[in-house]
Amino acid sequence: MASIGATLRLWRIGVVDTPTIFWFAVRRAALTVGVSPDRIGRLMLANNHRKFARFDRRWVRTGSDGAQYYDFKGARLPFEEKYRMYKVFFDSLAVYCLNKDRYTPRLAHDLDEWFEGPYGYTGDGIDVRVEPGDVVIDAGAWIGDFSAYAAVRGATSYAFEPTPELFEMVCRTAALNADGAIVPVQKGLGDSAGELGFSVCGLDQNGEGNTFLPHAGYDTIQVKITTIDDFVREQGLSRVDFIKADIEGFERNMLAGARETLQRFAPKLALCTYHLPDDPQVMERLILEANPRYRVVQLGKKLFAQAR
């Protein structure tokens, strides 16, 4: 459970609201006296529905054609009940929207406690942020939330999403943002090129957990896969400045297929490390083997790296 200090600091900048603070305190007190977490969760459910509604009132807009979309200070995404942005917002867009894109170590650690942590970090000798003009690889784009952020920052993002339904959402996100700023790519990223079995959750789910790793209860489809090195060569890219990855345990495979890119371009890295127990160690080793100039900073659920 997140610390009281982290919770209060996030409340001060508007990441956590007052009702959530109240239920956070209730949950801590109840757990202290032995109340079942499931019972507390049921009590919190009604507050969660109200919380989602407050979030949507703040960020959802209606276009001239009647279609609804999220507008996170210029970063736009289609609004669909199935793909609501409440949770994902705190990883990809909250710091941009609520803290002027300032990724201090304390804020990054606080968000890492409460959610999965942001895709930016400034401190400990590194500055991992998307800058205007950057060429970004967005591995595991989902509906394009990080790519929309990169677009509003003035970058060009190649948004890799192999799931057919999610790829359609990425295309809709690309159409809502600056022309050419988001380039949807219907492929996964790994250590080889070709086709590979891909585990997808049911149609009633939002696809966040789709993975190249075997998963009980998921359906398996065949999707196209490539490596970052192959993609860079095929596209004739003269630079890659930033790689973001949340690909459900396949991050290590992606790094193995990006060795040349890490050596040649030394892009900034913001990678999830919580899917497999040894992710932090394996991924740091792969990065440093490819390019020893990288400085790596590990949080609880994210790895950040920049070549020095």
Write the pLDDT tens digit of every residue in 24-55.
Answer: 677 667 767 766 666 666 666 666 677 888 89
Strand order in the sheet with 68-72: 60-62, 68-72, 75-78
* pTM (global) more than 0.85: yes
223 strand-pairing partners: 196
Q: Cα separations (Å) of 270 from 92, 127, 185?
A: 11, 11, 19
The whole-number pLDDT of residue 51 equals: 81
Phi, psi of 168 (to 5 degrees): -60, -40
Q: Using 70 as the pLDDT threshold, list the residues of the chain that sit under it.
A: 1, 23-24, 27-28, 31, 34-48, 202-204
> How remote is the C-alpha of 192 from its chain's centroid?
23
Dig out the tokens for 158 from the structure: 């190649």
Instruction: Find out whether 96 and 70 touch, Cβ atoms under 8 Å.
Output: no
Q: Where are the alpha helices (DSSP H) in 192-246?
A: 228-235
Distance, in Å, from the CA atom of 237 to the CA atom of 255, rounded to the nearest integer, reads 18
pLDDT number for residue 4: 79
